[in-house]
């Protein structure tokens, strides 16, 4: 039985129908990401689970019990927002201890739990400091510790890293995933960042216009997008029309459009040996962009332009204006 279950969830704000018949299940101990652009409904669903918003219709179940109309503080849910919301006049110790004090636990037990949790998030040495003395990443880890120290059934993370700079953000993604796995806490994470979703998730639910567009593991979502929107939002797919692609590569891919990942487009100066599973076309490089150890080449084939990713290995083998052959394994081409 699933640990969290949403059944036919609808949420309207006046005439704005934000969530449309959402059915979704989360297994115990998983980190599940709700991914999608702003305004797609992902944060609204999270707030409905927390009890901060009431559903218009539908049912929410947690650990076998319906919680659709249960007040927030009785749901056993911890939540971390984009804003850290720490008490500026309280030390790190007191911020983390706040929820435990509301439960009126003995002081010795509170101190033990706080110290243990700060050790887990790597902030034991900051226990006596105040929020203003901490970096943004440290403040976010304090907020995470405060949400987890009360041992909630579920942890909800609503874009908690979006205000943090890129390098620290990547480190915190790994840290949050490590802590979540160490504690085995069921976690739902909301983000609009597809790279973040790929790094952190057991399962991803891609939202679009109030509905779930596609669900799957990061690998499934990335390698087999089910719709053009999914292919547009996940990765950097080439998305030519099927008619143009089939004409240029001599293929017969069904559907209106074709999705091709740039890393599966192999470039060469010499025509590769053809076999039954290889699609080959000749084109010309029109531009390139460096992404560190990866170079993305744009190749023009008649009226079709496609990107190809090549790992940079000490020298540039292709230049703008070069004639090249592009080879693609047919089984990796997705018809949409």
What ranges do the domains of the chain cover?
A: 4-233, 242-335
pLDDT band at 274 (very low <50, low <70, confident <90, very high): confident
Q: Give CA–CA dist 117/297, Å, rounded.
A: 47
Sign of the CA dihedral running 323, 328, 330, 335: negative
pTM of the predicted model as reported, rounded to 2 decimal places? 0.91
Sheet-wide strand order for 154-158 = 77-80, 154-158, 186-191, 31-35, 203-208, 211-216
CATH of the domain spanning 242-335? 2.40.50.100
Give me the mean pLDDT over the 62-67 stretch. Answer: 97
The four Cα atoms 89, 92, 97, 101 give a dihedral, to 10 degrees, of -20
Q: What is the pLDDT of residues 78-137, one digit of tens each?
A: 999 888 789 999 999 999 999 999 999 999 999 999 999 999 999 999 999 999 999 988
Same fold flag, 4-233 and 242-335:
no
Paired residues of 189 in beta bridges: 33, 157
Fold of 4-233: Rossmann fold (3.40.50)
Write down the pLDDT at residue 33. 98
* 60 — pLDDT class (breaks 50, 70, 90): very high
Which one, of 174, 211, 187, 176, lies nearest residue 41 by Cα? 211
What is the arithmetic mean of pLDDT over 320-336? 96
What is d(CA 225, CA 232) in angstroms, rounded to the nearest whole number?
A: 9
List pLDDT tens digits, range 183-239.
999 999 999 999 999 999 999 999 999 999 999 999 999 999 999 999 999 989 999
């Amino acid at each position: 039985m699933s640990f969290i279950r949403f059944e036919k969830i609808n949420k309207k704000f006046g005439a704005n129908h934000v969530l449309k018949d959402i059915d979704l299940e989360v297994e115990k101990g998983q980190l599940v990401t709700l991914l999608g652009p702003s305004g797609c409904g992902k944060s609204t669903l999270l707030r409905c689970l927390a009890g901060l918003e009431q559903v218009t219709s539908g049912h929410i179940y947690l650990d076998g019990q319906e919680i659709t109309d249960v007040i927030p503080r009785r749901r056993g849910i911890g939540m971390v927002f984009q804003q850290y919301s720490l008490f500026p006049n309280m030390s790190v110790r007191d911020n983390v201890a706040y929820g435990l004090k509301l439960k009126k636990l003995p002081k010795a037990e509170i101190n033990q739990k706080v110290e243990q949790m700060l050790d887990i998030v790597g902030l034991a040495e900051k226990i006596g400091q105040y929020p203003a003395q901490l970096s943004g990443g440290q403040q976010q880890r304090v907020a995470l510790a405060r949400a987890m120290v009360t041992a909630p059934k579920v942890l909800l993370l609503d874009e908690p890293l979006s205000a943090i700079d890129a390098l620290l953000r990547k480190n915190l993604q790994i840290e949050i995933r490590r802590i979540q796995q160490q504690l085995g806490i069921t976690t739902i994470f909301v983000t609009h960042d597809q790279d973040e979703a790929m790094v952190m998730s057991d399962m991803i639910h891609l939202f679009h216009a109030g509905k779930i567009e596609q669900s799957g593991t990061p690998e499934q979502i990335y390698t087999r997008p089910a719709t053009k929107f999914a292919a547009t939002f996940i990765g950097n797919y080439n998305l030519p029309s099927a008619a143009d692609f089939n004409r240029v590569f001599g293929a017969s891919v069904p559907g209106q459009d074709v999705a091709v990942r740039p890393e599966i487009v192999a470039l060469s100066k010499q025509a590769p040996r053809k076999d039954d599973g290889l699609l080959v076309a000749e084109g010309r490089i029109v531009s390139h962009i460096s992404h560190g150890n990866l170079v993305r080449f744009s190749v023009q084939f008649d009226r079709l332009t496609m990107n190809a990713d090549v790992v940079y290995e000490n020298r540039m083998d292709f230049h703008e204006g070069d004639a090249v052959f592009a080879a693609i394994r047919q089984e990796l081409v997705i018809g949409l």
